[in-house]
């Protein structure tokens, strides 16, 4: 077990290291001088921020300093929580801009990931049991996994927002309201949350259902299921075992799918102008706000890694094979 | 086991048999039909339509009509022309991006699985790292630094970041195959590793590899569409993703211009969905167990 | 008479048509008898074993019946068969190494299985522990997950579990093929001991390894292309086989019983006929050195000696 976690932590540490290094390297490797490009572009519209940026730029990205020292400075700044200053939201530091948007993204992501996982697994297990249900659920599942996240979001916004007019199609809350801990505001918040949540939930649902269905069928064909049946065990018992064992790879799948779902959340937010990381990202891209862009990437990487680690812990708790530190578990 | 009786009757002509069942499998037939139909539209269409899909050719924001099959955009561009060009870029991204990640995944998977030991340790570590890296976020950062973005560059960077699960699967399969008798035999007769991998190991996972290619193809299309939608699409071409991005940017939603945003997303859903369905069909073809009567 | 099988026919359904895996198999099994069932892979021996307890999805019971202790087994009816499984007919599968649910503790799994069959774990546990000790396992394995046991230990757990309810008939399906020689011998001896102690009344040992089955079986049946071609006491099969196929099998073995039987079997020229549309007459005809015109007719079953039956035109020669 210790070996398992050491290995995992090594991978996550390495991933973080590589993500940071990509962040460091990309602006320097790209043809031309993107940072300078960003600054010149920005100096036209916002002289003040440009000046501050230049100062920051000289401090950390100082071109008179050798590359390895720049790299070192970059890490030092990172550990001080200094991700630079946002151009687009000048003079707010990147870290606080990101921190403001984060709750919205989490409020979308966490429920949609967990609920789609639970509901999808339940549906998949049911489909594996019933031929009739299977024929109906499977095609729907495949269509859902094939839908681009933003397109389903657009359709939902169009149908639920424009045609039916049931839900607002833009923003995290009404412009008329100011954020406060009041009943009106919370209802408004939820009202704005429903469509983007539903969109994310639905796209992810199909994948879990299909995965679970296939896994349960696979488990039902496995040796231990055959043996139980040969000893006359009722289907109830065999299915219960199959379901329990099929859930295990789905936990790993949850962690592996995370990167994709986060990507989905980003574009869904863009569709609904939901004030989370996705909309922030869009602003960063269109304003060429590279520091903000990189800050967002870093937050996403950290989030994904933390979540992965949580999934690992859950996995160890439910699968005796990894708990015993023997072969057989996932690597 | 249950296969033993069947095996002895079907050792010869297995490849033909697969083709036979593949073409008769309704899932494969329907899936491939859709994919090929849209491919033909994307390949042939542009020859009959304008070469420059962004040209302002007609009245603004017009609904579909006999003249403009899918209507026009907010600026009076022909949506159908854009759509056909967009299909072309999507297939290009799928083929190229999927192809690149397949080759990388294959190479790393075979090397890790066949060599084992230290090589495997390192490659497996790299694979796991790229696997947990949130690819879209990394792609966004990289593409946003590119001043000029083409469909090909996009495909390349997508390919570079979406190979890990293929590598993992190929590695696992190679592990189980490399100690088979016929591989040992080939090794004893002095064949070199690349030759053994190509001649003995690869054919035995051909079905699996074919299905991986299909999934990678669909994955690359979806990835590209998401990048395009954030505004990081090709700067010199139209794609299905940029169409959606443009339609959202010019509030087609509020103007009710459904003909602008429905077709591109529908096409992607159809292509990717059809690919998945083909895959399920192929799975049935290659696994006789799943071939229900 | 424990088991009486009459004209059993089981087909595999394939896209190309029915494969006749068992094409008219009849034999009987006395109380306390261990029968070895041998033949090349694909001859139908595993199908025969399975058909007496649980047909898998693509197998279909087409004709014939099996009578166990005077009552007919509903072998074509999966659901009706359930009450007979484990209590009357039981199996030690080929895949003992992976036969136990990997995520349940062994004791818990057995308890749940017993409860699902209406038995009390608490009442049976004493006997279970006793039998585990008999095969050299301590009570502690019940608190282990399968992955904590070695292959040999798992095999022994499965043997104890399969015979826990004292079935009349036990089918041991290629139980030794995954083991090394020492373990093979130990497993074979355990099977005999289980019979001697009355845990099982009679046993069918399905194997491709003639030399192993020779050590434990009272009677050996040789199968070829979906049919039994020769049945005789073990001694006779090895020392005085009558059927040309049996002779070829024995001839392919290195001097008395060694473990390479299977590979040598392939040195019989030709290959078995396909069972999709099996040829009429003797099915070994094409590979048989003695074949003549009369072999185009179905060979009769000839009792050449007490308990020694051969289906061959040349048996009398």
Angle made by CA atoms C299, C305, C311, in degrees to the nearest 5: 15
Q: Which of C53, C92, C102 to mutate to test the interface with A (most CBs of A within 10 A)?
A: C102
User: Which position has the higher pLDDT, A264 or C275?
Assistant: A264
**End-to-end CA, chain C:** 32
**End-to-end CA, chain A:** 12
Domains of chain C, each with CATH number or no CATH: 3-252+264-278 (3.40.50.300)
Nearest to C82 among A232, A319, A327 (CB): A232
- What separation in angstroms does the CA of A18 have from each of A15, A30, A74, A77, B170? 5, 17, 13, 17, 24
Q: Which value, to the nearest 10 degrees, does the dihedral of the CA atoms of residues B199, B203, B205, B210 take? A: 120
* Cβ pair B129:A270 closer than 8 A: no
pLDDT of residue B12: 40
The CATH number for B230's domain is 1.10.3720.10
Which chains neighbour A (Cβ–Cβ under 8 Å, 3 or more pairs)?
A: B, C
Measured distance CA(C314)–CA(C317) in Å, rounded? 5
The average pLDDT across C173-193 equals: 84
Domains of chain A, each with CATH number or no CATH: 35-82 (no CATH), 95-327 (1.10.3720.10)
Report the complex ipTM. 0.88
How do strand C219-224 and strand C34-38 relate by DSSP bridges?
Answer: parallel
**With 90 as the cut, is the pLDDT of residue C35 above it?**
yes
pLDDT of residue B114: 85
Read off the pLDDT band of C206 (50, 70, 90). Answer: very high
Contacts of C147 (CB under 8 A, 6+ apart): A320, A321, A324, A326, A327, A328, C102
Which residues are C92's β-sheet partners? C172
Chain C 41-80, residues with CB within 8 Å of chain A CB atoms: 53-54, 56
Contacts of B267 (CB under 8 A, 6+ apart): B38, B83, B86, B87, B90, B240
**pLDDT tens per residue across span C88-107:** 999 999 888 889 998 889 99
DSSP character for B291? -
**Does residue B185 lie within any of the structural domains?**
yes
Total number of residues shown for chain B: 293
Residues C30/B17, Cβ–Cβ less than 8 Å? no
Read off the pLDDT band of B292 (50, 70, 90). Answer: very low
Count the domains in chain B: 1
CB-CB neighbors (< 8 A) of A200 in chain B: none
Q: What are the residue ranges in chain A where pLDDT is below 50? A: 326-331
The average pLDDT across C266-274 equals: 69
pLDDT of residue A173: 81
**Does residue B235 lie within any of the structural domains?**
yes
**pLDDT tens per residue across span B84-136:** 999 999 999 999 999 999 999 999 999 988 888 888 889 988 998 888 888 88
Q: Is the CB of residue B94 less than 8 Å away from at least one CB of chain A?
A: no
**Does residue B122 lie within any of the structural domains?**
yes
CA atoms within 13 A on the CB side of B33: 10
* Cβ pair B8:C46 closer than 8 A: no
Read off the pLDDT band of B266 (50, 70, 90). Answer: very high
**With 60 as the cut, is the pLDDT of residue B29 above it?**
yes
* Cβ pair B272:A146 closer than 8 A: yes
Read off the pLDDT band of B183 (50, 70, 90). Answer: confident
Q: SS in 3 state form for chain A? A: CHHHHHHHHHHHHHHHHHHHHHHHHHHHHCCCCHHHHHHHHHHHHCHHHHHHHHHHHHHHCCCCCCHHHHHHHHHHHHHCCCCCECCCCCCCEHHHHHHHHHHHHHHHHHHHHHHHHHHHHHHHHHHHHCHHHHHHHHHHHHHHHHCCHHHHHHHHHHHHHHHCCCCCCCCCCCCCCCCCCCHHHHHHHHHHHHHHHHHHHHHHHHHHHHHHHHHHHHHHCCHHHHHHHHCCCCHHHHHHHHHHHHHHHHHHHHHHHHHHHHHHHHHHHHHHCCCCHHHHHHHHHHCCCHHHHHHHHHHHHHHHHHHHHHHHHHHHHHCHHHHCCCCCCCC
**Does residue B51 lie within any of the structural domains?**
no
pLDDT of residue A324: 67
Instruction: Name which of C49, C1, C35 is nearest C171 in CA terms.
Output: C49
**Does residue B11 lie within any of the structural domains?**
no
Q: Is the CB of residue C147 less than 8 Å away from at least one CB of chain A?
A: yes
Q: What is the pTM of this model?
A: 0.83
Measured distance CA(C279)–CA(A25) in Å, rounded? 73
Measured distance CA(B224)–CA(B229) in Å, rounded? 8
Measured distance CA(C266)–CA(C270) in Å, rounded? 9
CB-CB neighbors (< 8 A) of B7 in chain C: 42
Q: Which of B5, B285, B293 to mutate to test the interface with C (most CBs of C within 10 A)?
A: B5
**Does residue B57 lie within any of the structural domains?**
no
Q: Smallest CA–CA separation between A64 and chain B, in Å?
A: 22
Domain range enclosing B206: 26-44+75-290
**Does residue B16 lie within any of the structural domains?**
no
- What separation in angstroms does the CA of C125 have from each of A228, B33, C122, C195? 19, 61, 5, 21
**Does residue B66 lie within any of the structural domains?**
no
pLDDT of residue C257: 45
Exposed, middle or buried: residue B68 (CB in 10 Å: 0-12, 13-18, 19+)?
Answer: buried
User: Could you tell me how far CA C64 lies from the centroid of its own chain?
Assistant: 18
pLDDT of residue A327: 44
Q: Which value, to the nearest 10 degrees, does the dihedral of the CA atoms of residues C110, C116, C120, C125 take? A: -10
Instruction: Using CA coordinates, name the residue in chain A closest to B292.
Output: A131
Measured distance CA(B18)–CA(C276) in Å, rounded? 19
Instruction: Using CA coordinates, name the residue in chain B closest to A17.
Output: B129
Measured distance CA(A39)–CA(B53) in Å, rounded? 33
The average pLDDT across B58-79 equals: 78
Contacts of B223 (CB under 8 A, 6+ apart): B97, B135, B136, B139, B158, B162
Residue contacts between A and C (CB atoms, under 8 Å): 81
**pLDDT tens per residue across span B185-231:** 887 777 788 888 877 788 878 888 888 899 899 999 999 999 999 88
Contacts of C270 (CB under 8 A, 6+ apart): C286, C287
The average pLDDT across C298-304 equals: 84
Q: Give the gyration radius of chain A's Cα atoms.
A: 24
* Cβ pair C103:A233 closer than 8 A: no
* Cβ pair B4:C271 closer than 8 A: no
pLDDT of residue A331: 37
* Cβ pair C15:B21 closer than 8 A: yes
């Amino acid at each position: 077990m210790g070996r398992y976690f050491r290995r995992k932590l090594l991978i996550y540490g390495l991933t973080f290291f590589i993500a940071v290094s990509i962040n460091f390297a990309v602006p320097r490797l790209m043809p031309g001088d993107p940072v300078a490009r960003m600054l010149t572009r920005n100096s036209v519209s916002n002289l003040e921020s440009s000046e501050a940026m230049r100062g920051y730029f000289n401090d950390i990205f100082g071109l008179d300093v050798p590359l390895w020292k720049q790299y070192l400075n970059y890490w030092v700044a990172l550990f001080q929580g200094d991700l630079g200053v946002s151009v687009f939201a000048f003079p707010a530091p990147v870290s606080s801009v990101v921190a403001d948007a984060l709750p919205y993204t989490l409020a979308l992501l966490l429920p949609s990931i967990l609920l789609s996982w639970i509901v999808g697994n339940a549906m998949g297990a049911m489909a594996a049991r019933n031929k009739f249900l299977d024929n109906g659920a499977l095609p729907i599942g495949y269509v859902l996994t094939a839908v681009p996240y933003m397109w389903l979001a657009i359709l939902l916004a169009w149908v639920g927002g424009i045609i039916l007019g049931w839900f607002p199609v833009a923003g995290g809350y009404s412009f008329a309201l100011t954020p406060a801990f009041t009943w009106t505001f919370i209802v408004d918040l939820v009202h704005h949350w429903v469509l983007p949540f539903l969109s994310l939930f639905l796209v992810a649902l199909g994948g879990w259902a299909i995965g679970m269905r296939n896994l349960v069928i696979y488990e039902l064909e496995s040796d231990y299921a055959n043996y139980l049946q040969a000893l006359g065990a009722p289907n109830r018992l065999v299915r219960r075992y199959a379901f329990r064992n099929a859930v295990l790879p789905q936990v790993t799948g949850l962690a592996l799918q995370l990167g994709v779902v986060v990507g989905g959340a980003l574009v869904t937010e863009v569709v609904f102008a939901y004030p989370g990381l996705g909309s922030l990202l869009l602003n960063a891209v269109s304003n060429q706000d590279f520091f903000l862009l990189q800050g967002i990437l870093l937050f996403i990487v950290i989030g994904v890694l933390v979540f992965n680690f949580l999934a690992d812990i859950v996995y160890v708790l439910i699968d005796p094979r990894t708990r015993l530190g023997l072969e057989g578990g996932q690597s | 086991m249950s296969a033993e009786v069947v095996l002895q009757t079907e050792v010869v002509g297995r490849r033909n048999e697969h083709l036979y069942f593949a073409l008769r499998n309704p899932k494969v037939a329907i899936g491939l039909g859709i994919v090929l139909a849209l491919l033909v539209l994307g390949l042939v269409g542009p020859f009959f339509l304008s070469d420059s899909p962004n040209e302002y050719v007609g009245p603004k924001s017009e609904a579909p009509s006999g003249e403009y099959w899918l209507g026009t955009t907010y600026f009076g561009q022909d949506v159908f022309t854009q759509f056909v060009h967009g299909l072309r870029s999507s297939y290009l991204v799928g083929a190229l991006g999927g192809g690149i990640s397949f080759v990388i995944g294959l190479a790393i998977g075979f090397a890790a699985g066949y060599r084992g030991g230290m090589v495997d340790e390192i490659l497996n570590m790299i694979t796991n790292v790229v696997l947990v890296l949130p690819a879209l976020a990394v792609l966004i950062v990289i593409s946003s630094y590119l001043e000029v973005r083409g469909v090909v560059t996009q495909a390349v960077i997508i390919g570079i970041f979406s190979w890990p699960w293929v590598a993992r699967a190929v590695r696992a399969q190679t592990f189980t195959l490399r100690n088979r008798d016929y591989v040992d035999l080939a090794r004893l007769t002095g064949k070199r590793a690349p030759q053994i991998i190509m001649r003995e190991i690869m054919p035995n996972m051909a079905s699996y590899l074919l299905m991986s290619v299909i999934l990678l193809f669909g994955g690359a299309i979806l990835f590209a569409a998401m990048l395009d939608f954030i505004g990081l699409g090709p700067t010199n071409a139209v794609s299905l993703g940029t169409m959606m991005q443009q339609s959202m940017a010019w509030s087609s939603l509020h103007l009710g211009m459904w003909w602008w945003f429905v077709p591109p997303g529908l096409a992607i859903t159809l292509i990717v969905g059809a690919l998945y369905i083909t895959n399920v069909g192929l799975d049935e073809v290659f696994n006789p167990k799943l071939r229900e009567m | 008479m424990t088991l009486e099988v009459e004209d059993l026919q089981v087909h595999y359904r394939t896209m190309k048509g029915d494969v006749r895996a068992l094409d008219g198999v009849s034999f009987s099994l006395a109380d306390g008898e261990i029968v070895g069932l041998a033949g090349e892979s694909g001859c139908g021996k595993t199908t025969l074993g399975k058909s007496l307890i649980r047909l898998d999805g693509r197998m279909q019971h087409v004709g014939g019946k099996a009578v166990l202790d005077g009552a007919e087994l509903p072998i074509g009816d999966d659901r009706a068969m359930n009450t007979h499984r484990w209590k009357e007919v039981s199996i030690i599968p080929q895949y003992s190494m992976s036969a136990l649910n990997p995520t349940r503790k062994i004791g818990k799994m057995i308890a749940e299985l017993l409860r699902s069959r209406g038995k009390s774990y608490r009442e049976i546990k004493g006997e279970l522990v006793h039998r585990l000790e008999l095969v050299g396992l301590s009570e502690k394995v019940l608190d282990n997950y399968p992955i904590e046991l070695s292959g040999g230990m798992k095999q022994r757990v499965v043997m104890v579990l399969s015979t826990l309810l004292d079935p009349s008939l036990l089918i041991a399906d290629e139980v030794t093929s995954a083991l090394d020689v020492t373990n093979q011998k130990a497993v074979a001896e355990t099977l005999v001991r289980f019979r001697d102690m009355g845990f099982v009344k009679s046993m069918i040992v399905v194997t491709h390894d003639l030399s192993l089955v020779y050590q434990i079986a009272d009677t050996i049946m040789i199968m070829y292309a979906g049919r039994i071609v020769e049945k005789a006491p073990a001694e006779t099969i090895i020392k005085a086989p009558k059927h040309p196929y049996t002779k070829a099998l024995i001839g392919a073995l290195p001097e008395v019983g060694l473990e390479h039987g299977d590979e040598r079997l392939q040195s019989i020229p030709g290959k078995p006929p396909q069972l999709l549309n099996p040829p009429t007459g003797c099915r070994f005809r094409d590979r048989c050195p003695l074949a003549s015109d009369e072999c185009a007719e179905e060979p009769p079953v000839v009792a050449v000696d007490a308990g020694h039956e051969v289906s061959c035109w040349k048996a009398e020669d």
